[in-house]
Chains A and B, each alone.
Chain A
Amino acid sequence: QLKKVKKQKVLLMGKSGSGKSSMRSIIFSNYLARDTRRLGATIDIDLSHVKFLGNLTLNLWDCGGQEAFMENYLSQQRAHVFSNVGVLIYVFDIESRDVERDLATYVNIVSALVQYSREAKIFVLIHKMDLIQPMTREDVFEHRAVLVRRKTSEAVAIVHKQTPSAASTPPDTPPNLQLFATSIWDQSLYKAWASIIHDLVPNLSVIETQLASLGLAIDADEILLFERTSFLVVSKWTSREGERNPYGDRFERMSNILKSWKHTCSKYTGTPRNAEQFSDFEYKMGTTFSMFATKFTTNTYILVCMPPGEARFNSAKLNVAAARPWFKFLDGPAVPTQTGVAAAVGTPDG
């Protein structure tokens, strides 16, 4: 049984100027990285409802980070802001001079979150990594990550002390914390945000099962399913051979490539960036591999990477088209009666 539309409250917090609104605008509103220079500071809370696929709505609370606002969230608006939160995304500006103070604020925010939404997931983005020398990025990130993990545990511990009923569960590192190094100037942004939405997508296991049967049936090496506006990877399937691919960052890389290609097309055609920009991509690289990407369901694009061969390629394209109805549920809460793609897939007729 497939669930109805799911709503998720997502808090976006961090110091003013750390890059929250920039990221949100790039991922969900098709801004270019350089357009973000025009964004003004967010006043209080900027609420937006992002429809992601047909059956997930993100209620994105972009919380302006100036000190006065932050204090207000922690006091007057505390219950209002921190109740029913599904995900907290906390952004640290790596260039910030006052690390101690940033961490202290972070501890207060996490405490409030744990108090009102114990189950919420926490994503910490160490942001503007492009400003760090490429050689030292990893070290700088690791160093900061250690601090953040420690502070998160401290925050959780504080809350546990205050609410004795919960004291029985040991307040070690909370399992719900994930950290990412990000920059709006490269693909790292897509890696972080794909992880954030990944756990929120309803019916994920159904999607994964169907992709796997499609992949096996058409003899693909890799299939990626992208959300249509953000080009975040919703789900993916990789064959045994495909797992040998040494490029571990390829998923966020594909998001980045296709999204910037979309911008190129929009500039060329003069149509709005949010409009659909391309369909039917094919690339055959001799005897090495073939791939195609196409509009799949209303809300998704599909990219298929496969072994070379004309006949194999043509039959895969037909079969992907035939498999569309089995992914219809991605477009809305309507409940399909069957699952599985096997019926749609014939044997290669090459």
Chain B
Amino acid sequence: KVPDPTTPQTKGRPRLLLMGQRRSGKSSISSVVFHKLPPSETLFLESTARIQKDSLNSFMEFQVWDFPGQIDIFDNPNFTFDMDAIFGEIGALIWVIDAQDDYLEAVARLNATILHLHRSYPHINIEVFIHKVDGLSDDYRLDIQRDVTIRIQDELSDQGVENAPVNFHLTSIYNHSIFEAFSKVIQKLIPRLGQLEAMLTNLCRTCRFEKAYLFDVNTKIYIATDNTPEDMASYEICSDYVDVIIDFTEVYGSWPRSDQWRDRLEAEPWTQQLDDQVACEWAESGMVLADARRPIMLREVDRFLALVAIMKEGSYDKMPQINMNVDVVVKGLIEFFEITKPKDVVGTVQGGLVSPGLVQG
């Protein structure tokens, strides 16, 4: 079968749909994760009146659609939605439930939605964000998660639906959990994720890293990690390190220096172009944690991606050798993403050397 050239290419361009009751936190989530809004400022967000479509040009192009809570797309008296247009190219449906509110209606609507989708689009991943869990005790969070899970599974099996692809995440915009949850959601959409993970696992072995993450710099979503067990604490510190670097980059790296400045630096006693004076054209950084002198390192991969790793104690002295290994892996990563990218995007990535993604802040 020859693909129709007029239909948009869906591969590598997944869409994330955010749905749920009004005030459940959908717009807050997309503003915090994709637009860097400080969580406290979500208090001022207006209620969403129409579908809010965001296109994110990142390591992978994807779209985020934020649905107004009051619209029921399956049962709307005023308007019939084109279901194919909404669900045809979807990567995942994220259903947001406010854990601090009465959630029975939300769960009922979610059930109805799953049943609708199951008929026509059975492969859509359904990701349930049990949201606003900040301020709730650990026990209470798990109680809610258990309760929601049971209510959904019971209803689905009553309707004869088994093994629907439904996953649960406890989230809050006031900590890293929302980024973690998005990481999990996005990772399912990356083709050949296993290969990426293998590259990172290998790097950890050769360089004696404790943990390594490949970050999407703009969103702080991690798109791959090595195969050591999951570890929220490592993710948090690595993610905060990305933040530190983004901030420094914005303040000191996002404005043009004068010609005189450059001329002086390239003149006596250096007499060399700046490009030849630096060891690496990409952003690279390291810091030693006082505790056990464990270093943490960051290396920019391309405009969108950065590698961040926590090293074993005492490895700071071996930095030159480590940097060489990191270079090799970074080259591998760049190749990996060139293959995955749609052709037109590859060009901009390679042309983007002078303005790394870190600058976009």
Q: Interface residues, chain A, CB within 8 Å of chain B?
A: 130, 133-134, 185-186, 221-222, 241, 244-247, 250, 253-254, 257, 260-261, 264-265, 267-271, 275-289, 291, 305, 307-312, 347-348, 350
| B358 contact set on A, CB distance < 8 A | 285
- Docked CA distance A307–B234 (Å): 32
In the complex the two chains form, is A245's CB within 8 Å of B274's CB?
no
In the complex the two chains form, is B289's CB within 8 Å of A278's CB?
yes
In the complex the two chains form, is B286's CB within 8 Å of A286's CB?
no
| A130 contact set on B, CB distance < 8 A | 40
In the complex the two chains form, is A245's CB within 8 Å of B251's CB?
yes
Stretch at the interface among B124-132, B162-170, B237-245: B237-245
Q: Which residue of A lies closest to B233 (CB)?
A: A268
> What is the interface of chain B mostly: helix, strand, loop, or mixed?
helix
In the complex the two chains form, is B255's CB within 8 Å of A308's CB?
no
A-B contact pairs, 7 of them (CB 8 A): A245-B255, A257-B248, A268-B289, A282-B285, A283-B283, A287-B275, A287-B278
Q: Which residue of A lies closest to B237 (CB)?
A: A268
How many positions in chain B have a CB within 8 Å of any CB in the partner chain?
49
Q: Which residues of B from 164 to 194 have beta carbons under 8 Å from A?
A: none
In the complex the two chains form, is B253's CB within 8 Å of A285's CB?
yes
- Docked CA distance A184–B245 (Å): 23
In the complex the two chains form, is B282's CB within 8 Å of A283's CB?
no
In the complex the two chains form, is A286's CB within 8 Å of B280's CB?
yes
| B278 contact set on A, CB distance < 8 A | 284, 286-287, 308-310
In the complex the two chains form, is A311's CB within 8 Å of B270's CB?
yes
In the complex the two chains form, is B252's CB within 8 Å of A278's CB?
no
Stretch at the interface among B9-17, B68-76, B257-265, B332-340: B257-265
In the complex the two chains form, is A287's CB within 8 Å of B274's CB?
yes
Min C-beta distance of A311 to chain B, whole Å:
7
- Docked CA distance A265–B236 (Å): 10
- Docked CA distance A267–B175 (Å): 13
> Which of A134, A245, A257, A265 is in CB contact (< 8 Å) with B289?
A265
| B243 contact set on A, CB distance < 8 A | 257
Question: Does any Cβ of A come within 8 Å of B342's Cβ?
Answer: no
Given contacts A241-B260, A309-B278, A311-B277, 15 further A-B contacts (CB under 8 A): A130-B40, A221-B252, A247-B255, A267-B237, A268-B236, A268-B289, A271-B291, A280-B286, A282-B285, A283-B248, A285-B249, A286-B282, A305-B252, A307-B274, A309-B270
In the complex the two chains form, is A257's CB within 8 Å of B290's CB?
no
Question: Does any Cβ of A come within 8 Å of B230's Cβ?
Answer: no
Contact A257 B270, CB 8 Å, known A284-B279, A284-B280, A309-B265: no
Q: Mark B306-336, 1 if CB is under 8 A from A, else 0.
A: 0000000000100000000000000000000
Q: Which residue of A lies closest to B310 (CB)?
A: A268
Q: Which residue of A lies closest to B41 (CB)?
A: A134
Question: Does any Cβ of A come within 8 Å of B54's Cβ?
Answer: no
Question: Does any Cβ of A come within 8 Å of B269's Cβ?
Answer: yes
Question: Does any Cβ of A come within 8 Å of B288's Cβ?
Answer: yes
| A186 contact set on B, CB distance < 8 A | 38
> Which of A268, A278, A347 is in CB contact (< 8 Å) with B288?
A278
> Which of A133, A246, A307, A309 is in CB contact (< 8 Å) with B261?
A307
- Docked CA distance A308–B274 (Å): 7
| B79 contact set on A, CB distance < 8 A | none
Min C-beta distance of A226 to chain B, whole Å:
14
Question: Does any Cβ of A come within 8 Å of B247's Cβ?
Answer: yes
Question: Does any Cβ of A come within 8 Å of B346's Cβ?
Answer: no
Min C-beta distance of B301 to chain A, whole Å:
13
- Docked CA distance A270–B291 (Å): 9
Question: Does any Cβ of A come within 8 Å of B284's Cβ?
Answer: yes
Q: Which residue of B lies closest to A350 (CB)?
A: B270
- Docked CA distance A279–B289 (Å): 6
In the complex the two chains form, is B237's CB within 8 Å of A264's CB?
yes
- Docked CA distance A162–B249 (Å): 56
In the complex the two chains form, is A350's CB within 8 Å of B287's CB?
no
Chain B CB within 10 Å — which of A130, A221, A278, A286 has the most? Answer: A286
Min C-beta distance of A145 to chain B, whole Å:
23
| A241 contact set on B, CB distance < 8 A | 257-258, 260-261
Chain B CB within 10 Å — which of A222, A309, A312 has the most? Answer: A309
Q: Which residues of B from 31 to 53 have beta carbons under 8 Å from A?
A: 38, 40-41, 44
Chain B CB within 10 Å — which of A283, A284, A307 has the most? Answer: A283
In the complex the two chains form, is A269's CB within 8 Å of B261's CB?
no
Contact A284 B290, CB 8 Å, known A130-B40, A264-B236, A268-B236: no
- Docked CA distance A291–B283 (Å): 11
| A245 contact set on B, CB distance < 8 A | 251-252, 255
Min C-beta distance of A133 to chain B, whole Å:
6
- Docked CA distance A135–B35 (Å): 17
- Docked CA distance A134–B277 (Å): 43
- Docked CA distance A199–B309 (Å): 41
- Docked CA distance A284–B252 (Å): 11
In the complex the two chains form, is A246's CB within 8 Å of B248's CB?
no
- Docked CA distance A133–B41 (Å): 8
In the complex the two chains form, is B270's CB within 8 Å of A285's CB?
no
Min C-beta distance of B177 to chain A, whole Å:
14
Min C-beta distance of A221 to chain B, whole Å:
8
In the complex the two chains form, is A277's CB within 8 Å of B290's CB?
yes
Contact A279 B288, CB 8 Å, known A241-B257, A287-B281, A289-B253: yes
